[in-house]
Amino acid sequence: MHNRRKREVKEARTLTKKKFVNYSRWGYFFIAPFFIIYLVFSLFPLITTFYDSFFENYRVGLMQVGPTFVGFANYLKIFESDILKYGLNTVILWILNFIPQITVSLLLAIWFTSYSLNLKGQQFFKTIIYMPNLIMAAAFSMLFFTLFSDGGPINLYLGNAGIIKEPIRFLARVDWTRTLICIMNFMMWFGNTTILLMSGIMGIDVSLFEAARIDGASSLKTFTKVTMPLLLPIFVYVLITSLIGGIQMFDVPQILTNGNGAPDRTSMTLVMFLNKHLASMNFGLAGAVSVLIFFVTVGFSVLVYKTLMKNYDPKRSAK
């Protein structure tokens, strides 16, 4: 009796073993490459950046200075610099490009997904609006630099058309330089944003729109009461990724102003400031700037997420 019981247990065990192969191990195996690469190329440099920021460590030409531990001296130096001005520049450049970008993208996303409009040639337009994103920012910026230079095609055209007598010196003016940067960023990113928002809108149950229409809601009402509340998670995602992208903005203004952030450093963004230190391999100061940017990014992201998602009820969007 006792033996039989034992045998049964044993059989049951082998059965369990055979029946339930532990697939979760394979899952770990498959996600391992990402984590290994993340650890080596992202997390490790992130931590060393914190570490580096406490050292005086730079190279001028062939002469290496440091690394010497200096405590918070690099942070003090950074706060003595015009970093607040560069931060403000970054915010201005981001907002000036994000407001038109989100407006146009929302409008396009709604048009493209609207059943009542049923636009023709959607694929064509979707491809076209995404195109500028495929050009390298540096190339795009160089193109604008040439177009809007003192003797460039835009000035030539305006001059020949008799609209202006003296060439407009676009890149010597704060307003124009900033406008050009925003136009470029807008053109590069509105297609991407449109596609993200479209995917968000397409995830909303069509019956909700139909119900709204049957109830006689206007398009504006439908937008504010149905589309927007349900689109919120994607909208917040777009906002936060764009914000992070905005804080890290440098390629377009860097090339357009030859790295100087001209005029008078009014188009110098935080990351351009960071690059200034990297040019002299100044890992200490650059590290300090990076750490500050890191905290600013985290702070803003949390703030945006908390405020916007406060009223969001996941049950309402459950299908």
Please give the residue ranges that form the binding site for another protein (CB under 8 A). 30-31, 33-34, 36-37, 58-63, 65, 81-82, 149-151, 169, 172-174, 258-260, 262-265, 276-277, 279-280, 282, 285
Minimum distance from residue 181 beta carbon to another protein (Å):
17
Minimum distance from residue 112 beta carbon to another protein (Å):
27
User: What's the gap between Cα 81 and its chain centre?
Assistant: 26
CB 131 within 8 A of CB 188: no
Terminal Cα distance for the chain, rounded? 55
Around Cβ 60, how many Cβ atoms within 10 Å? Answer: 10
Q: Closer to another protein at the Cβ: 60 or 136?
A: 60
Location of structure tokens 């357009």: 256
Q: Closer to another protein at the Cβ: 59 or 225?
A: 59
Minimum distance from residue 295 beta carbon to another protein (Å):
22
Minimum distance from residue 15 beta carbon to another protein (Å):
35
Name residue 29's beta-bridge partners: none
- Rounded-to-integer distance, Cα 97 and Cα 167, Å: 26
Minimum distance from residue 75 beta carbon to another protein (Å):
15
Minimum distance from residue 8 beta carbon to another protein (Å):
44
Q: Closer to another protein at the Cβ: 36 or 134?
A: 36
Residue 104 to residues 108, 187, 190, 293: CA-CA distances in angstroms?
6, 11, 7, 29
Q: Closer to another protein at the Cβ: 100 or 259?
A: 259
State phi, psi for 64 to the nearest 5 degrees: -95, 130
Q: Closer to another protein at the Cβ: 36 or 139?
A: 36
Around Cβ 272, how many Cβ atoms within 10 Å? Answer: 22
CA dihedral sign, ordered 276, 282, 284, 290: positive
Q: Closer to another protein at the Cβ: 213 or 265?
A: 265
301's tokens: 């992201």
**Coil, strand or helix at 65:** strand
Tell the burial category of 53 from Cβ atoms under 10 Å away from its Cβ (0-12, 13-18, 19+). Answer: buried
Minimum distance from residue 169 beta carbon to another protein (Å):
7
Q: Closer to another protein at the Cβ: 241 or 260?
A: 260
